[in-house]
A and B are shown apart, each in its own frame.
Chain A
Amino acid sequence: MRRRPGLAGLQAAATNRDQFRSLGEDVAKARTDLMKEQLSVFRTQLEEFARKHKNDIRKNPAFRAQFHAMCQKIGVDPLASNKGFWAELLGIGDFYYELGVQIVDICLATRAHNGGLMDLEELRGHLMKRRRVSRDSTITEDDCIRAISKLKALGSGFEVFTVGKRRLVRSVPTELNKVHNQIIEAAQSQGYVTAEDIVNKFSWRTGSVVDALETLMKEGLVMVDDGHPDGKRRYWFPCVSAMDVDSDESDANAT
């Protein structure tokens, strides 16, 4: 059957469209409501979780790592802001801000000694010693790295990078090239190198090795030692030789 276009036909089409639109809106609304409900359930549960485990998160490093993994999966950064309900609820922001402040403090205190480069494990040792007074919680390297990544926002040049088997924390904006990194890596076993060690190890020219060592020395990352009986100059790297700088300071405060 062939129908010609008429008023009734147009009206029917318009009615259909309205009905479809209203149905669509209903469905969308139902979905939104469902989402809202789910979110509110999620939030309630999370609040409960946070209340229950707040102390665990602060005290237990393994738990803290798992909590971060969970947050990452659901796409939430609990450290992004201290105002969000995450941070308010968990105090987790405060935990890392406090850690960050202590890290800056330690890096500044030891900078004259190590030129602003410090072994991550050594930094962790300092942190543990400093915090033991107030709280008996354990700090992991993971915690340090998280806190340092937040310090980057300050544009202060804080960074963690890997040299050989170790991770170093840099608190000054020194640009180290590949040669420098390899020399630091070579120094890790004994805490020092001689120019000869480096020349033999990498087959570089003596001249360029001495140049690189001099550069590191000017940056305050290396100290020379001419006192060994064999007469060979040793280049010491305070950043890879663990030393108890902090305990001296506490002594000085005590007297």
Chain B
Amino acid sequence: MEQFKMPYFYNYPPYFTLQPVKDTREKQIQLWKELILKYCKQYKVFVINLDEEFPLFGNSAIERKLSHEARELFLGALVAEGKAEWLDKAHHKCLILWRSITDWANLILEFVKENGLEDGVMTLEEIRTGDETHGTDIAGIDRTVLVRALKVLEQKGKAAMFKGTATDDEGVKFSA
């Protein structure tokens, strides 16, 4: 995996303090939003938990880290754009959609067609960690995101999910 290059502002201390002037703060939020999406995409991060340390939100080289308020504000701005979703009412966990659910659904459909699985059956675990998806963008997809994407395909009549006896038996039948 190529080295992720942090943008200039990540090394500039004031970007770790919420700016009181409106225009400056908007610029600051914009920069952080872009960085969060880019970072999560690079490292395939799907959920950010505000109660845990997240490496992006602190820079030990300049001894600065974002306050809880700032983190919640930046993630909230992504939520407002539809690029993230709070997973709980108290805003502790945030699902980062660096690719939209619809795009995920299309990606899965493409994969299904390319691999001749039009009438095939796969378990959710196979899709996430199996040999077929290994090396594709789908590998390692978050379970919540996967289920949501498959539901989109279900609505289009291109897939049908079914439950097994255990969670890792949950599967999907494609009918693309």
Please give the residue numbers on chain A whose beta carbons come within 8 Å of chain B beta carbons, in ascending order. 112-113, 192, 217-218, 220, 223-229, 234, 236, 238, 241, 243-245, 247-248, 251
A142–chain B nearest beta-carbon distance, Å: 28
Q: By the criterion of a CB under 8 Å from any partner CB, how many residues of chain B are at the interface?
A: 19
Given A244-B8, A251-B5, CB of A228 within 8 Å of CB of B13: yes
- The answer to whether A229 and B63 touch across the interface, beta carbons within 8 angstroms, is yes
List residues of chain A with CB within 8 A of the CB of B20: 217, 224
List residues of chain B with CB within 8 A of the CB of A227: 13, 16-17, 63-65
List residues of chain A with CB within 8 A of the CB of B14: 223-225, 234, 236
- Residue in A112, A192, A247 with the greatest tally of chain B CB atoms within 10 Å: A112
* Interface membership of B19, Cβ < 8 A: yes
List residues of chain B with CB within 8 A of the CB of A236: 12-14
In the complex the two chains form, what is the Cα distance from A243 to B113 in whole Å? 47
The stretch that binds A, out of B21-29, B103-111, B140-148, B166-174, is B21-29
In the complex the two chains form, what is the Cα distance from A234 to B8 in whole Å? 19
In the complex the two chains form, what is the Cα distance from A245 to B9 in whole Å? 8
- Residue in B15, B19, B21 with the greatest tally of chain A CB atoms within 10 Å: B21
Chain A minimum-CB-distance residue to B19: A223
A141–chain B nearest beta-carbon distance, Å: 23
List residues of chain B with CB within 8 A of the CB of A247: 8
- The answer to whether A228 and B21 touch across the interface, beta carbons within 8 angstroms, is no
**B 1-47 contacts with A by CB, 8 A:** 5, 7-9, 12-17, 19-21, 23-24, 27
Q: Using A112-B27, A236-B13 as known contacts, list a sample of 16 further A-B pairs with CB atoms less than 8 Å apart, ordered by residue number in A.
A: A217-B20, A217-B24, A220-B23, A220-B24, A223-B14, A223-B15, A224-B17, A224-B20, A226-B17, A227-B16, A227-B65, A228-B13, A228-B63, A234-B14, A243-B9, A247-B8
Secondary structure at the A interface, as helix, strand, loop or mixed, is: mixed
In the complex the two chains form, what is the Cα distance from A234 to B14 in whole Å? 8
1/0 contact trace for B62-96 toward A, CB 8 Å?
01110000000000000000000000000000000
Please give the residue numbers on chain B whose beta carbons come within 8 Å of chain A beta carbons, in ascending order. 5, 7-9, 12-17, 19-21, 23-24, 27, 63-65
List residues of chain B with CB within 8 A of the CB of A244: 8
List residues of chain B with CB within 8 A of the CB of A238: 12
B39–chain A nearest beta-carbon distance, Å: 13
In the complex the two chains form, what is the Cα distance from A228 to B5 in whole Å? 24
In the complex the two chains form, what is the Cα distance from A238 to B28 in whole Å? 13
Chain B minimum-CB-distance residue to A219: B21
B83–chain A nearest beta-carbon distance, Å: 16
B121–chain A nearest beta-carbon distance, Å: 36
List residues of chain A with CB within 8 A of the CB of B65: 227
In the complex the two chains form, what is the Cα distance from A220 to B15 in whole Å? 13
In the complex the two chains form, what is the Cα distance from A37 to B19 in whole Å? 68
- The answer to whether B8 and A248 touch across the interface, beta carbons within 8 angstroms, is yes
Chain A minimum-CB-distance residue to B13: A225
- The answer to whether B27 and A224 touch across the interface, beta carbons within 8 angstroms, is no
List residues of chain B with CB within 8 A of the CB of A245: 8
| B27 CB contact (under 8 Å) in A113, A226, A229, A248 | A113
List residues of chain A with CB within 8 A of the CB of B8: 243-245, 247-248
B47–chain A nearest beta-carbon distance, Å: 23
